[in-house]
Chains A and B, each alone.
Chain A
Amino acid sequence: MLAVKTSRLSKVFGDVVAVDGLSLEVKQGEVFGLLGPNGAGKSTTIKMLTGLLSPTSGTIEVLGRHPTDQELLTSVGYVPQDLVFYGHLSAKENLELFANCMEVENAKERVTELLRLFELYEAKDRRAAVLSGGQKRRLNVAIAFLLTPQLLILDEPSAGMDPQSRNMLWEILEGMREESNITVILTTHLIETADRLCNRVAIVDHGKVIAIGTPSELKGKGKDGEILEIVLNNSPPDLMGKLNDYDVEITEHMIRFRNLDTFSELPKIVEKLNGLIPKESIRSFNIRQKTLEDVFIAHTGRSLRE
Chain B
Amino acid sequence: MRKLFVLYRAQLLVSFRNRQAFFFSIIFPLIFVGVFGLAFQEGAPGNSTIPIGLVNLDGGLPEGVSLQGVDGSQISGKYFSERFVDILSSLKFEDNETKIFNFKSFQGLQDARTELEKQDIHALLVIPESFSLAMVSAMQQAFPNMTLQGVPQANTSVVLEGDQSLINFNIATTVVEQVLKDFVKFGQIEAKTVALQVEGNISSKGLTAFDLIVPGLVIFAVLNNLSTVAAVSVSDISEGMLDRLRKTKMKGYHYLGAIILAQISLAFIQIPIMFFAASLFGFPITKSIGYAFIVALLMALAVSGIGIIAGGLTENADAAGSLGAIIGVPMAFLAGSFFLVPNPTFFDVGWFRLRIFDFLPATPAVDMLRITLLNDKTIFDTPFEFAMLLFDAVLFLSIGLLIYVRKHCKAH
CB distance from B107 to the nearest CB of A (A): 66
A101 with B3, Cβ < 8 A, contacts A53-B412, A68-B411, A88-B14 known: yes
Stretch among A77-85, A205-213, A228-236, A291-299 lining the B interface: A77-85
**By the criterion CB–CB under 8 Å, are A88 and B2 in contact?**
no
A66 to B240, CA, bound (A): 22
**By the criterion CB–CB under 8 Å, are B6 and A96 in contact?**
yes
CB distance from B154 to the nearest CB of A (A): 70
Whether A248 sits at the interface, judged by CB under 8 Å, is no
A299 to B25, CA, bound (A): 57
**Chain A residues in 8 Å Cβ range of B240:** 80, 82, 84
Whether B399 sits at the interface, judged by CB under 8 Å, is no
**Chain A residues in 8 Å Cβ range of B254:** 101
**Chain B residues in 8 Å Cβ range of A101:** 3, 6-7, 245, 248-250, 254
CB distance from A227 to the nearest CB of B (A): 39
A89 to B246, CA, bound (A): 19
Digit string of A59-102 for contact with B (CB within 8 Å is 1, else 0)?
00000000010000110101010101110110001001110111
A54 with B411, Cβ < 8 A, contacts A73-B248, A82-B240, A84-B241 known: yes
Residue of A with least CB distance to B17: A88
Which residues of chain A from 94 to 138 have any CB-CB distance to chain B below 8 Å in the complex? Answer: 96-98, 100-103, 127
Q: Which of B14, B17, B244, B248 interacts with A80 by CB under 8 Å?
A: B244
**By the criterion CB–CB under 8 Å, are A97 and B247 in contact?**
no
**By the criterion CB–CB under 8 Å, are B10 and A93 in contact?**
yes
Whether A276 sits at the interface, judged by CB under 8 Å, is no
Residue of B with least CB distance to A13: B412
Digit string of B244-261 for contact with A (CB within 8 Å is 1, else 0)?
111111100010000000
**Chain A residues in 8 Å Cβ range of B249:** 73-74, 101-103
Residue of A with least CB distance to B412: A53
Whether B13 sits at the interface, judged by CB under 8 Å, is yes
CB distance from A141 to the nearest CB of B (A): 12
A89 with B411, Cβ < 8 A, contacts A84-B240, A84-B241, A100-B3 known: no
CB distance from B262 to the nearest CB of A (A): 13
**Chain B residues in 8 Å Cβ range of A93:** 10, 13
CB distance from B304 to the nearest CB of A (A): 19
Whether B239 sits at the interface, judged by CB under 8 Å, is yes
A68 to B250, CA, bound (A): 14
A51 to B411, CA, bound (A): 6
A82 to B3, CA, bound (A): 24
**Chain B residues in 8 Å Cβ range of A100:** 2-3, 6
**By the criterion CB–CB under 8 Å, are B411 and A97 in contact?**
no
Which residues of chain A from 137 to 157 have any CB-CB distance to chain B below 8 Å in the complex? Answer: 143
Whether B243 sits at the interface, judged by CB under 8 Å, is yes
**By the criterion CB–CB under 8 Å, are B239 and A97 in contact?**
no
Whether B286 sits at the interface, judged by CB under 8 Å, is no
**Chain A residues in 8 Å Cβ range of B13:** 88-89, 93
Residue of A with least CB distance to B2: A100
A24 to B248, CA, bound (A): 26
CB distance from B244 to the nearest CB of A (A): 5
Residue of A with least CB distance to B251: A101
Whether B105 sits at the interface, judged by CB under 8 Å, is no
Whether A183 sits at the interface, judged by CB under 8 Å, is no
Whether A172 sits at the interface, judged by CB under 8 Å, is no
User: Which residue among A85, A88, A101, A103 has the maximum number of chain B CB atoms within 10 Å of its CB?
Assistant: A101
**Chain B residues in 8 Å Cβ range of A269:** none
CB distance from A140 to the nearest CB of B (A): 9
Residue of A with least CB distance to B250: A101
**By the criterion CB–CB under 8 Å, are B243 and A52 in contact?**
yes
**By the criterion CB–CB under 8 Å, are A89 and B14 in contact?**
yes
Residue of A with least CB distance to B10: A97
**Chain B residues in 8 Å Cβ range of A68:** 411
A54 to B411, CA, bound (A): 6
**Chain A residues in 8 Å Cβ range of B6:** 96-97, 100-101
**By the criterion CB–CB under 8 Å, are B245 and A53 in contact?**
no
A52 to B243, CA, bound (A): 7
Whether A6 sits at the interface, judged by CB under 8 Å, is no
Q: Which of B17, B18, B411 interacts with A53 by CB under 8 Å?
A: B411
**Chain B residues in 8 Å Cβ range of A98:** 244-245, 248
CB distance from B355 to the nearest CB of A (A): 41
Q: Which of A73, A88, A127 interacts with B247 by CB under 8 Å?
A: A73
A85 to B244, CA, bound (A): 9
A88 with B7, Cβ < 8 A, contacts A54-B411, A93-B13, A101-B249 known: no
**By the criterion CB–CB under 8 Å, are B244 and A89 in contact?**
no
CB distance from A35 to the nearest CB of B (A): 23
**Chain A residues in 8 Å Cβ range of B7:** 97, 101
A215 to B306, CA, bound (A): 53
Q: Which of B18, B239, B412 interacts with A82 by CB under 8 Å?
A: B239
A residues sitting closer than 8 Å to B (CB atoms) are 50-54, 68, 73-74, 76, 78, 80, 82, 84-86, 88-89, 93, 96-98, 100-103, 127, 143
The 27 listed contacts between A and B (C-beta, < 8 Å) are A52-B247, A53-B411, A53-B412, A54-B411, A73-B247, A73-B249, A78-B244, A80-B244, A84-B240, A84-B241, A84-B244, A86-B10, A86-B241, A88-B13, A88-B14, A88-B17, A89-B17, A93-B13, A97-B6, A97-B7, A97-B10, A98-B244, A101-B3, A101-B245, A102-B248, A103-B3, A127-B17
Closest 4 CB pairs of A and B: A101-B248, A88-B17, A54-B411, A100-B6
List 19 additional contacts besides A86-B10, A101-B249; criterion CB under 8 Å. Answer: A50-B247, A52-B247, A54-B411, A74-B249, A76-B247, A80-B244, A84-B240, A84-B241, A84-B243, A88-B13, A89-B10, A93-B13, A97-B7, A97-B10, A100-B6, A101-B250, A103-B248, A127-B17, A143-B244
